[in-house]
Amino acid sequence: MIEKVKNIVFQNRFWKSVFRHGMPVNARLRSEAVMSNLFLHIHPVKIYKDSLLFRKTLGLGLISFYLFFILCITGILLMFYYIPHVQRAYQDMKDLEFAVSFGMILRNMHRWGAHSMVALVFLHMCRVFYTAGYRHPREFNWGVGVILFVCTLALSLTGYLLPWDQLAFWAITIVVNLIETMPIIGDDLRYLVVGGTLVGQNALIRFYVMHVMVLPLLVTMLIAVHFWRIRKDGGLARPE
Amino acid sequence: MPVSDEQRMSEQEKDLKSYGLMNLVEGETPHVGKEPEEMTTTWPHLLVKELNLFYLVMIFIMGMSVFFDAPLEEMANPSVTPNPAKAPWYFLGLQELLSWGPPFWGGIFVPTVGVIILILVPYIDRSRVGTGLWFHPSRRLYNILFTVFVVVFIGLIIVGTFMRGPIWGFYWPWEPWPTH
Ligand code: HEM
């Protein structure tokens, strides 16, 4: 009976046209299931059993990635409701809280996801350090990771301004004043970031574009490189 | 004996071939010469674990979002400065450093040098012993140094978050701030 249902579900022409083969029941089909699928083929078809152990990585890198994914989805949904204008932004936050169905949950998920991602990426870095996972041939991937960490902070920071409340405004004002203390280029750089002398409409739209376009694209690309390198470097670091 | 062009070509081709082959082996199955018993198929062993972890992360984030609301204060007002005004928590360590001396050192120098040192770590530690193992004894010095970095990093954030009141004065978390 179950066999029959399985056959109908996994062996029909539509299923096979999508996944290119039936249910992966033997080793060869299992390899194919991974190799012939765009989203799975980032994995090797076979891995070391000990690399599967949770205590090897504590899952921290993968959790970082999942958080980034959740942030992309909730972020896109938020974009439907949010207008980056100094007269509108704050009102849109209020609307999310009181008028939009599940708006507050959406905003909360994005907020807590973002805070968690900063923490988890940092913890992932600590994991890699304490297991000496950065050694040859993974030096470059560690460097990619450091840049990812900086980009994660930048993403969080640019998002922090968008609600346009007192918390956002003054936090960003502090960070922006920091930029000014940079020698030689400080003043110009601050002007470039803020688009004027005060944190205002120009700063808001600049932070918005960085937050929803430039940095997410950059991070997506870096994560692709990061994952690709994990494979090219021979999977997770393990004792020789 | 003079070598004909053809011979040289085929020599080169052999090199190319073996190089290509090694590449292939490295790319698809980077595990040559290892016992097959040490390995298992990604489907389903790894994929199921990855999926389960995703469920956990979703449950955690959704749970948090149901019980705790993201903060939203009054609308931004450039003429009302909160005291103290604080950066997001992950920058509060830097803000704390800043309050100690000239802003350039805490705000620019320390983070820049920090990032550069981090990137250089794998080029400084050239040893091969203990790779992939937690807290390998041969790495005690590195682990201590890194732990000091982590503790200072987090410690500064804790001070900046919980122990700084008006005009960045020091207050214990249970100490009331002066009202005026
Ligand atoms: C957006 C941020 C990041 C994401 C999504 C990410 C993702 C991952 C994933 C999924 C792995 C596989 C192993 C695991 O799950 O732990 C990994 C490994 C690795 N990551 Fe990251 N990572 C990020 C940031 C970083 C940072 C900040 C560093 C270091 C400064 C780093 C360095 C490494 C290295 C060296 C490996 C290989 C470790 C080994 O072979 O044991 N990554 N990363």
- Structure tokens belonging to residue A153: 């902070």
Nearest CA among A56, A60, A86 for reference residue A168:
A86
Cβ-proximal residues to A98 (8 Å cutoff; 6+ apart), any chain: none
Confidence of residue A9 (pLDDT cuts 50, 70, 90): confident
- Least confident interval from A10-24, A54-68, A113-127, B137-151: A10-24
Q: Is residue B104 part of a domain?
A: yes
Supply the range of the domain harboring residue B157.
89-168
Three-class SS of residue B128? coil
ipTM of the complex model: 0.91
**Eight-class DSSP state of B178:** P
Query: B121-167 pLDDT, tens per residue?
Result: 999 999 999 999 999 999 999 999 999 999 999 999 999 999 999 98
pLDDT digits (tens, 9 = 90+) for B71-113: 999 999 999 999 898 989 999 998 899 888 888 888 888 999 9
pTM over 0.80: yes
Instruction: Confirm or reject contact between A234 and chain B (CB < 8 A).
Output: yes
Residues of chain B found within 8 Å of residue A174, distances taken between Cβ atoms: 85-87, 95
How much distance in Å is there from the Cα of A145 to the middle of ligand 1? 6
Average pLDDT in the A119-146 region? 97
CA angle B62, B65, B68 (to 5 degrees): 145
Q: How many CA atoms lie within 13 A of B78 on its CB side?
A: 7
For residue B14, the distance in angstroms to the closest alpha carbon of chain A comes to 24
Distance from CA of B176 to the nearest CA of A (A): 21
Q: How far is CA A10 from CA A19, A31, A41, in A?
A: 9, 17, 20
Residue A126: both structure tokens together: 């600590």
Q: What is the pLDDT of residues A96-118, one digit of tens each?
A: 999 999 999 999 999 999 999 99
Domain tally, chain B: 1
Label residue B133 left, alpha or beta by phi (over 0 means left) and psi (-120 to 50 means alpha): beta
pLDDT digits 0-9 by tens, A65-91: 999 999 999 999 999 999 999 999 999
> Which residues fall within 8 angstroms of residue B142, CB to CB, at 6 or more apart?
A129, B125
H or E, element range at A68 = helix A60-79
Question: Which domains are seen in chain A, by residue range?
Answer: 1-41 (no CATH), 58-232 (1.20.810.10)
Mean pLDDT of A191-200: 93
Q: Which residues pair with A46 in a beta bridge?
A: B41
User: What's the CA-to-centroid distance between B125 and ligand 1, angstroms?
Assistant: 18
Q: Which two tokens stand for residue B41?
A: 């198929």
Burial class (CB in 10 A: 0-12, 13-18, 19+), B3: exposed
For residue B99, tell me if it sits in a domain. yes
For residue B43, being part of any structural domain is answered with no
Residue B13 has pLDDT above 60, yes or no: no
Using a CB-CB cut-off of 8 Å, the residues of chain A touching B49 are 52, 54
- Is B53 contained in some domain? no
Residue B106 lies in a domain: yes
Q: CB within 8 A of A155, min separation 6: which ones? A: A114, A211, A215, A216, A219
pLDDT at residue number A100: 96
**CA triple A59-A64-A66, angle to 5 deg:** 90
Residue A160 has its nearest CB partner, among B88, B94, B135, at: B88
Asked whether residue B69 is assigned to any structural domain, the reply reads: no
Please compute the mean of the pLDDT values over residues A176-186 and round it to a whole number: 85
Structural contact between residues A154 and A195, judged by C-beta atoms closer than 8 angstroms: no
Please give the Cα distance from B130 to A129 (Å, whole number): 12
